[in-house]
Chains A and B, each alone.
Chain A
Amino acid sequence: MAVEILYFASLRERLGCDRERLDLPEGVDDLAALIDFLRQRGGDWAEVLGGEQPVLMAINQEMAKPDDAIADGDEIGLFPPVTGG
């Protein structure tokens, strides 16, 4: 299964990545598992996605929760709490 991941704001800066297409191994089928998978890259990935800072998630441009399932071709957005208005 392949997904497109988009990173925004302070997350994008810290990770040095604004978007990537990623092939996911078997078993990485929800957002919590995806975060775990990305954290295994170590360094800033482990730190930024380590749970100390809140990370909001979206699937196909809708806010989503950690236990929401992801599917092939999904667009995943990862970003800090929003500060518009």
Chain B
Amino acid sequence: MTTNSVRICAGPFDPHAEADQVRLGNPRVGAVVSFLGLMRDFNAGEGVTGMSLEHYPGMTEKALQAIVDEACTRWQLEAVRVVHRVGALSPEEPIVLVAVASAHRGEAFRACEFVIDYLKTRAPFWKQEQTAQGARWVDAREGDQIAEARWDQAERDT
């Protein structure tokens, strides 16, 4: 049984306990791959002391679920879990966890990268950083668009 879950969290979460949930009680799982995104204390050459994450309640959950569903149609997976923080964060705190369980490692590796790449360009979250010069909204990175586009290319090539 695939037990997928997407969750928006207003407070800190335990990434190890969350990642474990994709395998516990499922003896068909042979591999778990997880990605953990953390808050850095620097960006674009400047020190960052804190961050606040805004999202679009309702749409966020739907967008994440759609990405997880898409991953499950592309690869044979046992479970996918996505946890994403919103609100105020401090450096070193986890922002996002993507954990994928499958029978063999190949599917889990690819699906995990796919989910985070799609999340970066399709899920309605916005980061605002606090710096010594004040608060600033983080600009979208061109590299994220390129990373997302690779998966469409990969699909055309197969």
**A residues within 8 Å of B by Cβ?**
6, 8-10, 54, 58, 61-63, 77, 79-85
**Cβ of A59 to closest chain B Cβ, rounded Å:** 10
Q: How far is the CB of A77 from chain B (nearest CB, A)?
A: 6
With most chain B CB atoms within 10 A of its CB, the pick from A6, A54, A61 is A61
Query: In the complex, how many residue pairs between chain A and chain B have their CB atoms under 8 Å apart?
Result: 73
Given A8-B54, A61-B58, answer yes or no on A80-B124 (Cβ-Cβ < 8 Å): no
Interface size class of B (residues with CB under 8 A): 20 to 34
B103 smallest CB distance to A (angstroms): 27
**B81 in the interface, Cβ–Cβ < 8 Å?**
no
Let me know if B127 and A83 touch, CB within 8 A.
yes
Enumerate chain A residues within 8 angstroms of B58, measured Cβ to Cβ.
61
Would you call B76 an interface residue if the criterion is a C-beta within 8 Å of the partner chain's C-beta atoms? no
Q: Which residue of A lies closest to B55 (CB)?
A: A84
Give the CA-CA distance A53 to B71 in the complex, in Å. Answer: 31
Please name all residues of chain A whose beta carbon is closer than 8 Å to the beta carbon of B55 when the two chains form the complex. 84
Q: Whose C-beta in chain A lies nearest to the C-beta of B95?
A: A85
Q: Which residue of chain A is the closest to B123 with respect to CB atoms?
A: A84
Quick check: A6 and B125 within 8 Å, CB to CB? no
Task: Give A42 to B59 CA distance when docked, in angstroms.
Answer: 29
A6 to B54, CA, bound (A): 13
Determine the distance from Cα of A54 to Cα of B62 in the docked complex, in whole angstroms: 22
Contact flags B72-101 to A (C-beta < 8 A → 1, else 0): 000000000000100000000001100000
Q: Which of A10, A61, A82, A85 contacts B62 (CB 8 A)?
A: A61
Residues of A within 8 A of B122 (CB): 63, 82
Is B59's CB under 8 angstroms from A61's CB? yes
